[in-house]
Amino acid sequence: MEVLLAYQMEVLENLKKAEKNYKKTPKERIKKPYLETRLDNLEQLWTVFKDGHKSIIGKVTLKDKQHSYFTEDIYEEFEELYVSYKTLLKEALQPYVASTSETSSVTPKLSAEQTSESDKPVSTPISTNFSSRGLEPSQVLLATVSVWAYNEYGYKQQLRGLLDQGSQASFVSESVVQLLGLSRKHVSGSVSGIGGGSHTNVKHMVSLRVVSRHNPEVSIQVNAYVLRSVTSLLPSTELHSPDWLHLDKIPLADPGYATPSKIDILLGAEVYSEILLDGIVRHNKILAQNTTLGWVLSGRVSKNSTSADNGIITMHLHLSGEELLRKFWEMENEPNLIQKKMTDTEKQCEEFYDKTTTRDKEGRFIVKLPFDKEDPECQYGKSVIIATRRYEYLERKLQQDPTLKETYNNVLQEYLTMNHMTPIKKEDVDNPKAVYLPHHAVVRQDKDTSKVRVVFDGSCKGLNNFSLNDNLMVGPKLQQDLRHILMRWRSHRICIVADIVKMFRMVKVNSEDTDFQRIVWRPQANEPLQHFKLLRVTFGTACAPYLAVKTLQRLADEEHARFPTASSITKRDFYIDDLLTGCIVGCGPTVRPIRMDCARDHQGKNIYPKAVEVEA
């Protein structure tokens, strides 16, 4: 297993090198044959990686899942890099293909008659139901297919699909939409679990042509809603192939039906009805159905299953105007009239903050992390192992960009200089309950101040599959929606804009909780790895926005007697750390940013104001 995992990591590094070398390629070398060769090489890497992943899934044990291949989700990283690199190559190849697309006889552009149906407004409720894992202790085989998918310009991609005759709609993953460069049509809807649980918004629909692998003359035009992912791997575990069919002699719709793999597209009832042919074979609990895409298999494979991970996935898509009208009504109404009730957890978080927050002699607030239980599981996950691996990977990446490395180190050095981070004493390094946070760089060239920000990954799970964020309460939403603040800001004759510098880091974390915010870092790769703990509210933890905003509002409440105007503005016109306020002509607009100095005097926050005049 260790050899397989190491090989997968090597394939990932090869993909990174390939993309990096392509970006360095001189423009005069980028021609059609060059791009096609790189696409072929990319597909070979993707095939090798997928085959390796299938082998690993079939042999993985609980102990193996502690490897960084699983803890750092290398499969998802590879897939994202594959999609972005392939999109880059396809875009570069587009000018060479566009000139010949009109004469192409294989996959012509969609005609007006073909696309007219997909352009009609969507208003009817649509539901889809499918199970990705058996509810009973057995191995269940779902009807999967392998097809070619074409876009309107003739690009094709092999996809793995799930047939669902209980679905009124078809769905496709975001990665497929990007790979094929499909044109999107805007829709408004939401996907929810059974019983009306959590919701996922659906914003786009695409049209693509699905072609049989066995008979290229068989093609179906599919209108599909776009989801980030359709479902988890299917099947969930390696299945035992049925021995009653001569599988090597009949054209199977999905030759890899028994190996766990991702689903790219879900084909609903409207497609199912078009592909059915005469021919059904039954054996015990297995059903083989003949279709234009090949023979599809479904049913119970065996009564014994080694997997205890049983569950069902059910989705309901509702597309109607009622929800949209309600949102427009809320937008037009005064936001203060819209009452939002807090959940029990949010109330608990508010009570915890009020009970535990204090101020030091300088007036700075000290907060405790709002854990959802007294003994959080995250402290038993040995997160230092994962954080160290992640940092070593980050370090290798920074070595390739000396400028970014220098800037990154300067940011962390600033943490030390400002006493926002402190080294761990040698005798405390081996604390078994300490929680370590991986960190990485986020580069924003559009920023005037901090172009490189260090972000800490509070969602990184430990070896026991619990992260710091899993045990933290998020807290309620305390500020109005940005749209309300912007509409009110635009009504001022004189507009005032200000920004609180390093807002999160202006709030101290109680010393009892700083061991939940440890990191590893070293300025140079040849130095020993050093351990630190963050002393301030940390960007990347689930509760950080709540703690920062709540502290700002607490400051406004406590200073209301001294600065009533500034207090009101702080509670009404802030969105996180951005102030959007103003006044009419003649009210002395420069007074307000001066009054806001109370936040600097008592809380150590800097506010950079500037006033601009707008049309009334």
Q: How many angstroms separate the CA atoms of 295 and 250, rounded?
A: 7
Torsion of CA 243, 249, 251, 253, to 10 degrees: 20
Q: For 581, left (φ over 0), alpha (ψ -120 to 50), or beta?
A: beta
State the Cα–Cα distance between residues 223 and 122, nearest whole angstrom: 11
**CB-based contacts of 109, cutoff 8 Å, min separation 6:** 101, 152, 153
Helical (H) or strand (E) element with 35: helix 32-59
β-bridge partners, 170? 224
When the pLDDT of each residue in the chain is averaged and rounded to a whole number, the result is: 77
> Which pLDDT tens digit goes with each residue over 517-540?
999 999 998 899 999 999 999 988
Facing residues of 21 across strands?
none
Does 309 have pLDDT greater than 50? Answer: no
pLDDT at 119 over 80: no
pLDDT digits (tens, 9 = 90+) for 161-191: 888 877 778 888 887 887 777 888 888 776 6
Express as a percent the part of the chain with pLDDT over 70. Answer: 76
Kind and range of the H or E run holding 555: helix 544-558
> What is the pLDDT, as a whole number, of residue 60?
75
> Amino acid identity, residue 609?
P
pLDDT confidence tier of residue 472, bands split at 50, 70 and 90 = very high
**Residue 290 pLDDT > 90, yes or no?**
no
pLDDT, residue 328, reads 59
Q: Is 318 exposed, middle or buried (0-12, 13-18, 19+ CB in 10 A)?
A: middle
- 191-201 pLDDT, tens per residue? 665 555 556 67
User: At residue 180, what is the residue type?
Assistant: L
Cα(75)–Cα(72) distance, integer angstroms: 9
Which pLDDT band holds residue 479 (cuts at 50, 70, 90)?
Answer: confident
Question: pTM (2 decimals)?
Answer: 0.49
Q: Is the pLDDT of residue 448 over 70?
A: no
Examine the pLDDT at 497 and tell me if it is beyond 80. yes
What is the spatial distance between Cα 205 and Cα 212, in angstroms, rounded to a whole number? 22
User: Is the Cβ–Cβ distance between 166 and 190 less than 8 Å?
Assistant: no
Q: What is the pLDDT of residues 576-614, one digit of tens each?
A: 888 998 876 545 444 444 344 444 444 444 544 444 444
**CATH superfamily label, 112-318:** Acid Proteases (2.40.70.10)
438 vs 79, residue with greater confidence: 438
